[in-house]
Structure 1
Amino acid sequence: MRMAQEEVDVLVRGRIRGLRLAKGWSLDDLAARCGLSPSTLSRIETGGRRIGLDQLVAIAQALETTLDQLVEPAGDEDVVIRPKHDEARGFTAWTLNRDTGPHGLTVAKIRMTKPVRRGVDELKVHPGRDWFTVLSGTVTLLLGDRTILVEAGQAAEFSTMVPHAFGAHDGPAEILTILDPDGKRTHLRKRK
């Protein structure tokens, strides 16, 4: 956690200096606009002084920006959703909502490359219901004693208290699924 705070400090200091220079302002110019001394601003920019929240607010206002813009992450982790691969299961999953939705629901896209086989793959049971729609390919859904093929453009919804498993049928398949917390733990957890 300490390293993360230091990285944020370096990022904010660099943004303050960069915005000041982009406006063509000296330390004296920014100091006059935000009510801080030029030496305090110099120490803030160079890391010689911690930045207080009240100082950060004044600096942001003077630079005509917001606190959010000064402290937002430098990377793309808050925007880009990266896939999680599970080679053992032949699954690649993208969790499409960062925070769980109403009632703890998770939306995910899953790409399956391996078939599911009765007697080989374990059928899971958990409280709740699963729902998925097939985006491409065909999915084999083992549901209790039944084997159901769900094709592209079709959807499936079922009680997860019935033993179940799903996988690709005759080639890769992709689904969009909504899972409750138990379904997320069961279907999106990487197997070892």
Structure 2
Amino acid sequence: MKGPSPRAGISPSQLSRIETGHRRISLDQLTAISGALGKSLDELVESPDDSDVVIRPDRDDTRGLTTWLLTKDNGPRGLTVAKMRITDPAGSVTPDDFGVHPGRDWFTVLSGTVILYLGERVIRIEAGQAASFSTMTPHTLRSDRGPAEILCILDHNGERSHLHI
């Protein structure tokens, strides 16, 4: 039999399920496979390119939003962390811009000023300040006098609503 399975003590069917993603590999199995192949663990799991290191922006010019998704495959406790650059100016809000979904949103302003439209309220949030609110209240964000950047934490519903993932 070819490959590492006999030398690693892993059956061909187990190895096949691991390779196809139908079974998660344990550290014991990974160590055994790396030894059978004569490779270090680093060599076995390292990415051939920089795709696991470099976070590239996702630009949405129609929404005036650039997003850097900082967590992969759901972050801790199913939360998503993202950096967003908002360029749509305050005052450009229409009723269609407001969203509602279960949960809470949290963000901190890294630079610029964000205008949070929260129901009937218009709230100005400066760099260094943060906001947290129930997302069952209709809401949307805009920048004030130039681009603004925020770091946000979203639950699954917020991720779907705000990031369109």
Partner of 2:157: 182
1:167 deviation in Å? Answer: 1.5
For the 8 Å contact 1:105–1:179, the answer to whether it is kept is yes
Q: Which amino acid aligns with 1:165?
A: T
Larger Rg: 1
* Separation in 1, partners of 2:103, 2:4: 48
Corresponding residue to 1:107 among 81, 84, 87: 81
Q: Which amino acid aligns with 2:129?
A: Q
* Separation in 2, partners of 1:71, 1:160: 39
1:90 deviation in Å? Answer: 1.0
Give aligned-pair identity as a percent: 56
Corresponding residue to 1:80 among 31, 44, 54: 54
Corresponding residue to 2:100 among 109, 122, 125: 125
**What secondary structure, in the 3-state scheme, does the structure 1 residue paired with 2:133 have?**
strand
Q: Count how many residue pairs are aligned between Structure 1 and Structure 2.
A: 138
Aligned-residue CA RMSD (Å): 2.1
1:153 deviation in Å? Answer: 0.6
* Separation in 2, partners of 1:85, 1:174: 14
* Separation in 2, partners of 1:92, 1:160: 21
* Separation in 1, partners of 2:57, 2:84: 9
Structure (1 or 2) with the greater helix fraction: 1
Deviations along 1:73-128, one digit per CA (max 9) or x if unpaired, are 20111111111111111111111111313331101000011125333552100000
Instruction: Using CA pairs under 8 Å that are at least 6 residues apart, name the structure with larger relative contact order, 1 or 2.
Output: 2
Corresponding residue to 2:140 among 153, 158, 165: 165
* Separation in 1, partners of 2:95, 2:144: 15
Partner of 2:36: 58
- Written as runs of structure 1 = structure 2, the 5 A alignment for 1:6-25 is none
* Separation in 1, partners of 2:83, 2:163: 10
1:169 deviation in Å? Answer: 1.1
Structure 2 unmatched ranges of 5 or more: 9-32
Q: Which amino acid aligns with 1:106?
A: T
* Separation in 2, partners of 1:83, 1:149: 26
Q: Which amino acid aligns with 1:83?
A: P
Deviations along 1:123-157, one digit per CA (max 9) or x if unpaired, are 10000000000000001110000111111011110
Partner of 1:89: 63
